């Protein structure tokens, strides 16, 4: 009995150490999950520069960017981003205090990356988090100018696709504005768009020229989200119904 009593504090100490170790591990796992979610946000097939990836990563809540290596997501092995994140856990009933950690991980951004790829643990580099200049403002899409420039075709008339393209070229658009013109079933559709960041709604302008009607509009925001297909010349020719 006496031997058991002497062993009891040792058992409690050992158990306590196990709890502390487990809490440290849980806190690290929580920090790793923040880095993994950052990788999900950065995942994509669209080519991006190191500056673009670093800027996007630095804008994610709970993420500090300490190092960016590589030149382009589609060049070689892509881009590696060293991020610092935080995680926390509780010791448990023996010591109900919060254990907080800050850890660093490498997030790889490349078309070859796997979805929800585990970030790799690394030592945190010395120095403060990197800062990135704000991206340039996208050019304004010329709603009123496009509306005024497009031809008006009378009822029973024929829409000339080449004429629509000439009117569009006369707008002298910013080089960053992408244009597309397509004819289908007596109608001509027009798309003006600028590249988005892959997460937020894309800026685009649609137009449709037909006998008796020339329309110009901006699709609803939900249709302009990535993958929704609102910013296409097909949506200009055959508009998707607006959500209610």
Q: Do 243 and 198 meet the contact criterion of CB atoms below 8 Å apart?
A: no
Rounded CA separation 183/238 (Å)? 11
Task: Report which secondary-structure segment, H or E, holds 79.
Answer: strand 79-90
What pTM does this model have?
Answer: 0.61
> Is residue 185 within 8 Å of residue 192, measured between CB atoms?
no
Q: In what order do the strands lie in the sheet with 64-69?
A: 64-69, 79-90, 98-109, 120-122
Return the biggest CA–CA distance within the chain.
107
Question: How many angstroms from the chain centroid is the CA of residue 63?
Answer: 15
Q: Return per-residue pLDDT of the chain as tens, 244 residues.
A: 444 444 444 444 444 444 445 788 999 999 999 999 999 999 987 788 999 999 999 999 999 999 999 999 999 999 999 999 999 988 766 667 888 999 999 999 998 888 888 999 999 999 999 999 888 888 999 999 999 999 999 999 999 999 999 999 999 899 999 999 999 999 999 999 998 877 788 999 999 999 999 999 999 999 999 889 899 999 999 998 765 4
SS3 5: helix
């Amino acid at each position: 009995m006496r031997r058991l009593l002497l062993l009891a504090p040792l058992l409690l100490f050992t158990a306590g150490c196990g709890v502390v170790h487990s809490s440290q591990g849980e806190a690290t796992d929580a920090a790793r999950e923040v880095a993994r979610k950052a990788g999900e946000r950065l995942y994509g097939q669209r080519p991006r520069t190191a500056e673009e990836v670093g800027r996007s990563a630095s804008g994610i809540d709970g993420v500090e960017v300490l190092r960016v290596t590589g030149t382009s997501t589609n060049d070689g092995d892509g881009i590696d981003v060293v991020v610092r994140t935080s995680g926390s856990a509780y010791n448990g009933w023996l010591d109900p205090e919060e254990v907080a950690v800050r850890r660093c991980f490498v997030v790889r951004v490349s078309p070859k990356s796997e979805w929800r790829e585990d970030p790799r643990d690394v030592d945190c580099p010395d120095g403060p988090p990197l800062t990135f200049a704000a991206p340039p403002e996208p050019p304004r899409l010329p709603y009123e100018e496009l509306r005024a420039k497009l031809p008006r075709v009378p009822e029973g008339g024929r829409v000339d696709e080449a004429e629509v393209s000439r009117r569009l070229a006369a707008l002298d658009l910013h080089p960053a504005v992408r244009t597309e013109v397509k004819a289908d079933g007596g109608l001509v559709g027009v798309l003006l768009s600028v590249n988005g960041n892959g997460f937020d709604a894309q800026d685009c302008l649609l137009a449709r020229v037909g006998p008796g009607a020339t329309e110009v509009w901006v699709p609803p925001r939900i249709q302009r989200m990535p993958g929704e297909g609102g910013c296409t010349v097909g949506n200009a020719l055959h508009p998707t119904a607006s959500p209610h």
